[in-house]
Amino acid sequence: MENEIRRQKTVEELRAKLKDKKRIVVKIGSSSLQHPETGDLDYTKMDILVRELCNIRNQGKDVILVPSGAIGCGRKALHIKPPFTIAQKQACAAIGQARLMTTYQRIFSEYNHQAAQILLTKNTIEADLNRKNAQNTFNELLAMEVIPVVNENDTISTFEVEDVIGDNDTLSAIVTALVGADLLILLSDIDGLYTDDPRRNPAAKYIPIVEDITDELLSMGKASTGSSVGTGGMETKLTAAKIATYSGADMVIANGGDVRVIHRIIEGRDYGTIFKANRDKNFNFTDFIDNLHRA
Ligand code: GLU
């Protein structure tokens, strides 16, 4: 009981500080931006998402968007059905990424803001010179009050092998570490972190706050499965949490079904699971990434 009261107090204190965050990364999964019936883009949701981000920018905060959906969008454009070869997925990404970016640029400009595209690979992050260049570009864009829109460069990253980041949960945490952001918001089709998948296990319990990413938590994440649309289940979200919190950022996992949740989170309201920043000076995110997918 005492523990419960203490935890509740910590959640409230942490949430109250979210309004002071200065550099925010928002990741949104493809399932949150598509019509479930057809898989086509939901322009209304994209519009609200961009409006939310422009409003953050208008408050003088830096904001970065990491949306998924390049491959899905290319697939829709080509009218092809799975199973896909690696080359087909890469071709889909080439088409879909350009389509997505065109749409984002148009909507951002409706709100008088500039969007910029940054495509990263695992190799870019690992190579010192490339990483430094990426960092400089991010910092320059943010200083210019531009909103970077980031994805993995899926057209040249080789899927299903070691040389890929592979999911945008992890990618968004890498971006958070790279730019020294102080908040990462992960939006997906689930309200937050549960002890198991609540859609399959009605006994699954909601976890409002994570102060430490324990082995117990990691094994829970491994056992649960994710949405059928994107690639990120709970496991990738916990990997993201490690990278983000050890690099000094708080992280929130929330439901992107209503994208207005973004400003509600930043106002400190009770949405999603909050992961407390836990900077570890021995944590080297480039080494961590180097070991991703290496068993
Ligand atoms: N980079 C992939 C895409 O844009 C998404 C990976 C993911 O779903 O997390 O299609």
Measured from the CA of 230, which atom of ligand 1 is nearest? 8
Ligand 1 centre from 121 Cα, in Å? 12
Computed over its alpha carbons, how large is the radius of gyration of the chain? Answer: 18
* Ligand 1 residue neighbourhood (C-beta within 6 Å): 30, 68-72, 151-152, 154, 167-168, 230-232
Name the residue among 120, 119, 240 with its Cα closest to residue 184: 240
pLDDT in tens, 151-189: 999 999 876 667 899 999 999 999 999 999 999 999 999
Q: Atom 7 (ligand 1): residue with closest C-alpha?
A: 167
- The pLDDT assigned to 230 comes to 44
Mutate to test the pocket of ligand 1, among 26, 27, 28, 30 (most ligand atoms within 8 A of CB): 30
- Residue 53 DSSP SS3: helix
Structure tokens at 109: 């400009």
- The pLDDT assigned to 295 comes to 60
In DSSP notation, 180-212 reads T-SEEEEEESSSSEESS-TTT-TT--EE-EESS
Residue 124 above 80 pLDDT? yes
Calpha distance 46→262 (Å, rounded): 13
Measured from the CA of 167, which atom of ligand 1 is nearest? 9
Ligand 1 centre from 29 Cα, in Å? 8
Task: State the pLDDT confidence band at 199, using cuts at 50, 70 and 90.
Answer: confident
Mutate to test the pocket of ligand 1, among 27, 73, 167 (most ligand atoms within 8 A of CB): 167
Question: What's the chain's average pLDDT?
Answer: 92
Residue 229 above 60 pLDDT? no
Ligand 1 centre from 69 Cα, in Å? 5
